[in-house]
Amino acid sequence: MLSVKIGSLPAGKSITLLFDVVIHAPLLVGATRVSNQGEVSGSNFASVLTDDPSIPGVNDPTVTDINLLKVYLPIIRR
């Protein structure tokens, strides 16, 4: 879990939080993507889920494909 306190944010203003993630191996069989969603909370409003702007609708998590290197080794019989 990542928790960041940003203090007061004036109405109509925004911030962008960037972070890097390391996915440790081994992955679960069939895992092809990771999902992430934040929650914004404050003392004067109800909590709000973050939204992936590239997907229609609201409150969508951001989904990132995992690009796994596939290695094919030939089987040679002698």
Number of domains in the chain: 1
Query: What tens digit of pLDDT does each residue of 11-70 get?
Result: 888 888 888 887 777 778 888 888 989 898 888 889 999 888 888 988 899 988 887 666
| Domain with 42 in it | 1-78
43 sits in the region (left: phi over 0; alpha: psi -120 to 50; else beta) called: alpha
Check residue 17 and give its pLDDT: 84
- For residue 21, what are the CA distances in angstroms to 12, 15, 32, 44, 65? 29, 20, 15, 31, 13
Q: In terms of C-beta density within 10 A (0-12 exposed, 13-18 middle, 19 or more buried), how is residue 56 classed?
A: exposed
Could you give the CA distance from residue 55 to residue 52 in angstroms, rounded to a whole number?
6
